[in-house]
Amino acid sequence: MTAAQKRQAAMQSGSRLERMLRAGHFAVSAELSAPDSADPESVYREARLLTDAVDAINATDASGANVHMSSVAICTLLSQAGYDPVLQVACRDRNRIAMQGDILGAAALGIKNVLCLTGDDVSNGDQPQAKRVFDLDSVRLLRVATVLRDRGMFLSGRKLETSPRLLLGAAANPFVQPYAWRPQRLAKKIAAGADFIQTQYCYDLPRFRQFMAEVRDMGLHEQVYIMAGVGPLRSEKAAEFMRTNVPGVIIPDEIVERLRKTPKEKKVEEGKRICVEIIEQVREIEGVAGVHIMAYRQEAHVPDIVQQAGLYPRPVLAG
């Protein structure tokens, strides 16, 4: 079955995110900042800020190679509370045995969306002495997850008693060189089984438009749901830190200057306004199926951003 045929096949997971995308609604997901806590209330407190504003909530998997509460634990708590979580699985920390077990277990716990990531290197995190695993990369992990779901077996060939029902996702970064390779990389992830894509922060809109034009030329927008990554900036200092220290994040000088010229007491609102403007623009790009809002430690701003961008209230799905 080709990727295009797979997209038109029967529902993979039945998750709200999948139903929104298949119905042709402009989907909205957001990231929940993983807590440094063993208290479930730490998760629920942040999730409540996102209630009714988004269709799905991503639980990060030690993003930036910094340890926090595990993604599978956060997703389980979210699922039990009635949210639609997206499990992130990074190849950095686990081998293929552990990741297959995690995916199968997550499905058993009611988690229906999985985002397959290679993961930031440990040198970027707060424990650089940690051992790297990287038994697989994101493309190979997608293939493994697809085998679990579509063929009902482990990578070893051993049959499953019950296959997981999952919507499989991957990340894409159109903003780093070599640009010409980025659509090709996306095509590999689609061929490996990706149903949806969440991109890196889209601050460089001309580059993103060019990427999407190349994606359309290859017909990839008809084979996968692409969600553009967006997020508010607190200040020009935050913008400088991100583009200097976060791998793969490109923030144009004009955005930094715009924040620098904004009075201190208005910088947060200006950052939100920039995010809303970006959402409005990416929404008009053919092939963009939604946005993924990454508001690190700023979850409280997500409902305002969604409302100001004209994406609230979220559609009510039948059934």
Q: What is the CATH number of the domain that holds 131?
A: 3.20.20.220
Residue at 12 is within a domain? no
Domain count across the chain = 1
Q: At what angle do helices 138-146 and 181-192 cross, to 10 degrees?
A: 20
pLDDT in tens, 214-270: 999 999 999 999 999 999 999 999 999 999 998 889 999 999 999 999 999 999 999
Residue 183 carries which side chain, given as an amino acid letter?
A: P
3-state secondary structure of 273: helix
Residue at 4 is within a domain? no
Please tell me the distance from the alpha carbon of residue 173 to that of residue 129, in angstroms, as a whole number: 27
pLDDT in tens, 292-319: 999 999 999 999 999 999 999 999 998 6
pTM score, two decimals? Answer: 0.96
List phi, psi (to 5°) of 279: -60, -45
Residues 205 and 278 sit within 8 Å (Cβ to Cβ)? yes
Res 12: pLDDT: 87
Residue at 287 is within a domain? yes
Per-position DSSP letters for the chain, written without gaps between them: --HHHHHHSS-SS--HHHHHHHTT--EEEEEE---S-S-HHHHHHHHHHHTTT-SEEEE-SSGGG---S-HHHHHHHHHHTT--EEEEEETTS--HHHHHHHHHHHHHTT--EEEEE----GGGSS-TTSPP--SS-HHHHHHHHHIIIII-B-TTSPBPSS----EEEEEE-TTSS-TTHHHHHHHHHHHHT-SEEEEEE---HHHHHHHHHHHHHTTGGGTSEEEEEE---S-HHHHHHHHHHSTT----HHHHHHHHTS-GGGHHHHHHHHHHHHHHHHTTSTTEEEEEE--TT-GGGHHHHHHHTT--SPPPPP-
Residue at 23 is within a domain? yes
Residue at 5 is within a domain? no
Residue at 7 is within a domain? no
Residues 303 and 28 sit within 8 Å (Cβ to Cβ)? no
Beta strands per DSSP E along the chain: 27-32, 56-59, 85-90, 113-117, 167-172, 196-201, 225-230, 288-293
Residue at 52 is within a domain? yes
Residues 59 and 29 sit within 8 Å (Cβ to Cβ)? no
3-state secondary structure of 116: strand
Listed as ranges, residues in the chain with pLDDT below 70 are 1-10, 319
Cβ atoms within 10 Å, residue 162: 9
Residue 214 CB burial class (10 angstroms; 0-12, 13-18, ≥19): middle
**Which residue range forms the structural domain that includes residue 122?**
17-308
List phi, psi (to 5°) of 38: -105, 10
Res 8: pLDDT: 52
Residue at 318 is within a domain? no
